[in-house]
Structure 1
C-alpha cells in the first residue's frame, strides 16, 4: 500500500518517525565530527609516551640561513622570558641579565622594560608571523643582545625554506645579511613534523585533525629544554590560572601592548574555539607542568 493510500493517522506516524530518525542522524554526525574539539585540553586518561627531549635534537634540526654552521648553543642556566604582562612590576631584570643565557620570543622588546625583563638576549625564537615586525625594528631586537646572538625562525616549510621564494624567508635572509654577528637558523621541515608528533604523544590529540596551532611558547620551551641544564621561566601562568582568577581584573596578553586583548580571554577563547585553527595555550601549559619535573624547570611571576 502506498503512503498516500494509508490512513491519515498512519501517514503522520510514518512522517514523524522519519523526522526523528533524520534528526538523530544529524546529531550523531555533528557530535562525531566535533569530538576532537570540546572540551580540548589533554585527552582524559591519556598516558604520555616517553620522549627524552635532551636527546631529541639532531644536527639537521636547525638549518643555517647561510653557510653550513650548526646550532651548537649550550647553557647551564637559562632565563626564558615570556611576553606576558605578569612580568611587569617583577623587577626581575637584573636577575635575568645575570643568567647564563637569556631566551626571548617573537618581537617582545626590552627597551622601556629593562627593570622587569632585562636587556640581554642570547637566543630569540621567532614565528613566521612575527618576522616582518622584527625586520621593521631591527635595532630594538638586536641592541643589548649577547656578542653573537642566535635567532631561530619557525613556520610552515612552504614559507621557511631556501627554495620557497616566500617573502618571509627573504626577510630572514635580509636580517642575516645586514647583521653579520647574528646567527640565523630555521627549523627544518622534518623537525616541524616531529613537533607535531610530540604534541600528539603528550596530549593524545592529532594537531592537524584537532585544528590546533602550536604556539611560539611550545617551540621555545622544547628548544630551551634541548640546550639548557636548568630553566627559569618568567611570566608564564599555570594551566589552571584562568579558572582560579578572582574578580574582574584583566591583564593584557602582551606586556608591551597595554591596550591589547585580555590574557585569560585569549587563552580560553583559543582553547575552546571550534571554528578554524587555534592555539591551545592551556593544554600546552598542562604539558609544561609535567616537563617541569623532568627537566629542571621552575616558574616565577607567578610561581607554580
Structure 2
C-alpha cells in the first residue's frame, strides 16, 4: 500500500531530472547557435548577446526558487465539500484571502462571498494569461525563428507562472511545480520545431493553389501558424497554473488538463483574430512605406536625368 506512492515519486523525480538534462542540452545548443549568428555580425555584439542570455537564464532559473520561498503553499482542500474538515479549511482559506491586497474591503463571511472573491481573482488571472498569450503570439509570429521562439516562450511562461501565483497569493505543490515546468520545457521543444512545418503545402491543402499563390500569403500563414501554436500552449500552461493555485475542491489531474485545453482553445480564437489584424496592418503599412520609398527613388533619379 505504501510502496506505490514512493515508487511514483521516484519515477516523477527521474523523469523530471531527465527532462531537465535534455532541456539544458537543448537550450545550450540553441544558445550557441544564436551567439554564433550574432558574432558573425560583430564580435562585440556577439559577446553582448552571450552575456545577456546568461543573465536572462539566471533570472529565469532563480524565479521558481524565489516563488517557492516567497509565497505560501496552496491550501489543499479535503476530499469532500461537507463536514468539519471542509469547514476548517474554509476558515483558514478565508483568513488567507483576507490578507490578499486585491481583496481588501471585500466581504468574506460566507461561501458565496468566498466564491465571489475567487471569481474576481479568476478574472484578473484570465487577463494576465490572455495578455501574455497575445504577446507570445505577436513575438513569435514576427520573429519567425525557432531558436528565438524558444527563449521567448520559455521566458513568457516562466513569468506567467510567477504572475498567476501572485494573483492567488499561493504557490502550487512541489509535484505540481515539477509538472508545470515540464509543460514549459515541452512547450519550448515544440516552439523550436514549428518553423520546420511546410507552410506552402498546408496553405495549398486548406485554401487551394490560387490562394497559396497570392504574394505574401506564405509569410502571413507562417506567422499566424507559429504565433497561434505558441499562444495556445501558453494559454494552456496559464490555465493549468490557475487551477493549481486557486482550486477549493479536489481536482483530478487528467480532468484538469482537459479542461485547461478546452479553455485555451476558446480563448485562442480572439487572440488569433486580433493578432492577425495587427500583423496584416503592419504588413500593409510596411508595403506602403517600401512603395513610397521606391517611388521617391525613381522620381529622384528621373529629376536628376532631366536636369542633366
Q: TM-score range by the shorter chain?
A: under 0.3
- TM-score, L = length of structure 1: 0.24
Q: Which has the higher contact order (CA 8 A, sep 6+)?
A: 1
Greater share of strand: 1
